[in-house]
Every structure is written in C-alpha cells, then in structure tokens.
A and B are shown apart, each in its own frame.
Chain A
Amino acid sequence: MSTEDKVKINQLPTGVPGLDEIVGGGLPEFSFNIIAGAPGSGKTTLAHQFVFANATQERPALYFTVLGESAIKMLRYQQQYTFFDPAMLPGSIRFINLSQVVLEKDLGAVLEQITKEVERANPAVVVVDSFRTMVRKPESDMDLQSFIQRLALFLASWQATTFLIGEYAEEELRDNPIFTVADGLFWLRQTAERNSIVRKLQIIKLRGQDSVPGLHTFRITDAGVQAFSRTFGLTGQVKDPPSQRRLCFGIPDLDEMLGGGVREGDSVLIAGSSGTGKSVLATQFIAEGIRHGEPGIVAVFEERPQAYAQRAVSLGLDLETPQKDGKLTILYLRPLDLSVDETMHSILDAVQKIGAKRLVIDSLAGFEMALSPGFRADFRESLYRMIFALTGIGVTILSTVEVDESFTEFPFSTYSISFLTDDIIRLRYVSIDGQLRKIMVVIKMRGGNHAKDIREYEITSKGVVILGKRLTNYQGLISGIPVHSDRSDSTGEPPLDTGIEHKT
C-alpha cells in the first residue's frame, strides 16, 4: 500500500509541555486512552490540560466525574493552574456528574447516560474521571469487558478522543480487559526516594505511532504537568557533522598543547582537586568564546551567578556585560529534587534562546548533588544522553570534575565518565622544592594530536598562566611527589612516570 493510500491519523496537541514529543508528535485523534497511576500522580491535571488544549464551542469536551473527587473541589483546585481558562466553561468544556447513576444503577445505565450526553453534545474529547471507581462495582468480568468494548466503540464512532482515568497498581497491568481495549496507556508514577519525590511517566502503549520508550521525568508546577523527554526534545534532530574548527581557551600555551584548541562540538573534561583552577579555566573558556562572538552558557551548582561573575572580575574577565547583551547566560540550577532531564530542559532552552556555542557545567559533582537521590543512580546514563544530545547540535561542552588527589593513582574522574568525553585535561598538585605547585597535562584528545607535555602553571590575576617549558628534570610528576633528576635538557625526551596506575 502506498503512503497516499494509508489513512492519515491526525495528531492532537496534548497541552502538556514536552509530552507531544514523547507521544510521537501528538495524541492520535479518536484514540481511546487510559491514564493510570496512584492518587496524586497528576492524572486529572494531565487530562485537564488535554481538554483545555482541544475543546471548542463547536466540538466541546465532556468531562464525566464519577465517585472520586467532587467536581466543585476539582474545579477549585484545577483553576489554580495557568492553563485553566474559566471562560471555556461551560460552553466548550462541560462537567457532568455521573455519581447518581453509578450509585443507583448498573454499568448499562452509565453507558446509556454517557451515550445520551455524547449524542447531544457531539464532543471532540471525552474524559471519565475516575473510571476506576465506576468499575469497582461488583460486576462480572464479562459485563465489564462488554461495557468497555461498547464504550470504546461508541466513542470512537462518534469521533471522540477519550481518556479514562483510573487508580491502578502496576500488578494490575496484566490480564485487565481495559488495558487490552485501550489504544493508549499512560502510566504516571510517583515514588519517594529518601526525602525527595520523583515523578515519572511511561507510555506503555500507543497504537498507530512511535512514542519515545522508557520512563520520562515530569513535574507538576503552577503551569500543570510538564514532561521531560529522555530525548530532550531533540528527536529527529540531524546531528551536525564533526567540525574541524578549534575553540581556544585564550591561554596561548594551553591552546598550543591542545593542537590549536578543542574541536567544536567536543565534550571536554577538566579534572583536578580543589583549588587547582578548574573553574578558572572554565571561565576563561567561556570568556574567550564571547570575545569571538560565540554565545555561552554556564550552568553553576555550587555558587550563585552573581558570585560567579564577581569571581571572574578578579581574573580581569567581564561576564556582566555579555549577560546584559544576551551573549551569556549563567544558570543557577539547584532546586530540590532536580532531574537531569529538567536540567537539560533549562540548559537547552538557554542554548536555543541565545544560540550558545559553548557550555560550561561547573561542576559535575555539584550537578550530581543537586539531583534528587532517586536520579543519582542514573547520573552516568543521564550524563551520556545529555552530552550526546548537546554535542549533537554543535555545542561544545566543558565540564569540571573534582578528583581526590592520590599518590598511588592518577584518576581522571570519580564518575568513570571519561569515556563520555572527547578531551581530558588533568590538573594536579605536585610537591617540588618544598612548594606545592600545579601541573597540567592533556590526557586525551579524540579529534587529533595533542602535546604530551606536563606543564607547570599558576593562577594569577589574569587567570591560568602556564610557566616556562615542559618539566623535564623531574621523574614521577604525575604521582605528585616527583624525584628530581639531573637532566636539564628541556628539549630531550621526558622521563617516564613509573609505578603509577592510570584510572579512567
């Protein structure tokens, strides 16, 4: 069958930010859907958003309430959301209470009442909330199955897109006739992880189109439900071909060590212990980008934007002006119960808003700490998705990570995430001639050659400054306790660092 011969299924906006992408573009018109989940998981709010997004005077929405929350209280609470438009009631959205019929009669009478109202109103959207309270009545399975099939058939024939809302436990997923009949099954989960609440949404099934699989974080704010797709809203986005352009730090010696700078679209990791200048390097990287007309984003977790900008002043860098000019956004991302997906959403919004080319995440440890404990277990996997998504649209990411200094190992990160990064710059302290000095080395550059030199540097009022040539007259520099050798030939081969275990 050719594409032209196939029936076209229109997609309706869900009215839930982020959910259209998750369901594959929008909700299939005339579909028969179930929103399931525990009490308080956001089922009613999600249904309201769909109703307010699709109801019109000509094709209204019918919202049947049954034995759950009373309609008057439901409207009292729901109108607190920004999507709620009182002017749409009752012309475009009608609430119909079925409690009397449910209490006094059987499912047949309920079906008859729904049928009557639907035939009278010709609605585009029908919601039954809570459907579960209706089917808890002692009816035989056959009666229930027959009722559901007749309801689904009737509502589809009347060209209505339907939501049944119910409180279901996950173990009820099997062998339940309702789930068999449904075209779409939306499962909302809410779990407590230590002191945090984690909300996740799953499209268990959706006939007729591809939805994004897996669990997606969602949050309920004063705007209603907001979903955060695992694909970060970048489904279908064409990945940019690898760029050959190099982005500089504005530190000539370091840029030279990097073979001219980091490759555009790379993920760069700066690893080092506290006070080694990771944030200073990150700030210089973002400031250099702005100097070259490349807007930047700095996501900070450990200090507030004002303090971050103030610290840059002490390095002779002005971050205030580019913020005012819309060339720089410093994001402070430290609410409670943060998910990586929400963070990503904020970052992507900022990236798209100012057309950012460089992104600094300062730091990964702060990022992890800002996450709800329930999301920390997925941190590495989430980080992978985030880096892949952002570098895919050509953003160069520089992340800082704190590592514990050790005299027996040379770890690049405590997260085992170095495989996610294209380039790694390692900073560390060394004890030389009775002084605690700093060295840096480029560990890896996926996109090309880089210097193998170990260079000493200092943090001055102008930022990171690399001192002299490579250190050739010491052995065991990366151990942090080098041994002085007699070699003073700065052009000779550097000594090997022996006895040190490299960990990634």
Chain B
Amino acid sequence: MTAVPGMRDLAHRLLTYEVGAGKTSEPMESPTLRVYEKLRQSLVEFVGVAGFQSLASRALTLATPEAPSLGAARVSSDGSLQGLGEIETQIDMDKDRAGEGGIILIARLLGLLRIFLGEALTLSLLRSVWPGEAFDDRNSAHGRNA
C-alpha cells in the first residue's frame, strides 16, 4: 500500500511552495519540517496534542516502509517531528528524488486527514494554512517536471 497519488501531489505542492518560501526566510529549515510544523500548529488546535501525536505517529509508521530514511525520525510527545532535519538538510529539493521521504510522510498525514475528514474538509483546513498559490499547478510534480 503506497501513498495515494492525489495526496502525493498535494504534499509535493506544499513542499515545493515551502522550498520557495524558505529561500526568503531564515533560518534555513527542512521544507518537510516546515510543512509538518504548519500542519501541527493548525491541527493541534482542534484535535489536541494527543490527537495530533497519534495521527502523526500513524503517518510515520505508514510512510517508513516506502521511505526507509524516515526510520530515523520519530514523533515526540508534543507531536513535533524529531530526527528528520538531519536527513533533509543534505538533500537538494531541486533534484527529482529530493525530499522523497518528506513527500511520502506528508502525503500519508494528508491521506489520514482525508480518510477521517474527507477531501472537502481537508482541503478547507489546508487552505486556511497555506495561501492559494501553494496549491497552484506550478507546484505540482507535473508542473515541476514540465
């Protein structure tokens, strides 16, 4: 079982958007962590810390077989992601396989949200966190490859 393609593409868009946003912000931080943190901040508000921690742990468990590099990562009790930054700081997001583990992890997390909340509500929540351009085609896997 792999991450749902639609969620992969959505995760890709958000990560790509954060790559662009990261160039102008400081300190330089893994785009996966930036996406993850934004999701955490938003979701903790309504599902609580324990609720988010459970979801994130499940997402990480599902993602690790697809991206073994995530084996070093873990979700702490406050829901934050530990151990991913070291992996991703060495990865160039402009290369095709760049950030694959991050994409899979975020795709899994979004996939869980879609399973529990449905697509409409998931997208509605994401749109409250990221601006409209984060969902543009330019940020999709297809857009980047073209």
Is A90's CB under 8 angstroms from B117's CB? no
Whether B120 lies near A95 (C-beta < 8 A) is no
**8 Å CB contacts to A: which residues of B27-62?**
42, 44-51, 55
Q: Determine if A79 is an interface residue (Cβ-Cβ < 8 Å).
A: yes
In the complex, the answer to whether B45 meets A86 with C-beta atoms within 8 Å is no
The A interface, classified by DSSP as helix, strand, loop or mixed, is mixed
Q: Across the interface, do B128 and A90 meet the contact criterion of CB distance under 8 Å?
A: yes
Interface string of A62-101 (1 = CB under 8 A from B): 0001000011110110010000001101110011111110
Contact B116 A97 (CB under 8 A): no
Whether B124 sits at the interface, judged by CB under 8 Å, is yes
Give CA–CA (A269, B42) in the complex, Å.
64
The closest CB in chain B to the CB of A67 belongs to B48
> Smallest distance from the beta carbon of A15 to chain B beta carbons, Å?
19
Closest Cβ of chain A to B112, distance in Å, is: 9
Please indicate the chain B residues that have their CB under 8 angstroms from the CB of A87 in the complex.
120, 124
- Whether A94 pairs with B121 at a CB distance below 8 angstroms is no
Tell me if B125 counts as interface (CB < 8 A to partner A): yes
A99 touches B50 (CB 8 A): yes
A41 CA to B26 CA in the complex, in Å?
52
Known pairs A86-B121, A86-B124, A90-B124; A76 contacts B116 (CB<8 A): yes
A75 to B49, CA, bound (A): 17
Return chain B residues, CB-CB under 8 Å to A96. Answer: 45-46
**Is B118 engaged at the interface, CB distance under 8 Å to the other chain?**
yes
Chain B residues within 8 Å of A75, by CB: 116-117, 121
What's the nearest-Cβ distance from chain B to residue A127, in Å?
Answer: 13
Residue of B nearest to A102 (CB): B48
A72 near B45: Cβ-Cβ < 8 Å: no
| Min distance, Cβ B59 to any Cβ of chain A, angstroms | 13
Contact pick for A89, options B44, B48, B55, B121, CB 8 Å:
B121
Partner of A95 from the list B45, B50, B116, B118 (CB cut-off 8 Å) is B45
Q: What chain B residues lie within 8 Å of A72 (beta carbons)?
A: 46-47, 51, 55, 116-117
B residues engaging A (CB < 8 A)?
Answer: 42, 44-51, 55, 116-118, 120-121, 124-125, 128
Q: A87-B124, A97-B46, A100-B49 are in contact. List 7 more A-B contacts (CB 8 A).
A: A70-B48, A70-B51, A76-B117, A86-B121, A98-B48, A99-B50, A100-B48
- A selection of 23 A-B contacts at a CB cut-off of 8 Å is A70-B47, A70-B48, A71-B47, A71-B51, A72-B51, A73-B116, A75-B116, A76-B117, A79-B120, A86-B121, A86-B124, A87-B120, A89-B121, A90-B125, A94-B45, A94-B46, A95-B46, A96-B45, A97-B48, A99-B51, A100-B48, A100-B49, A100-B50
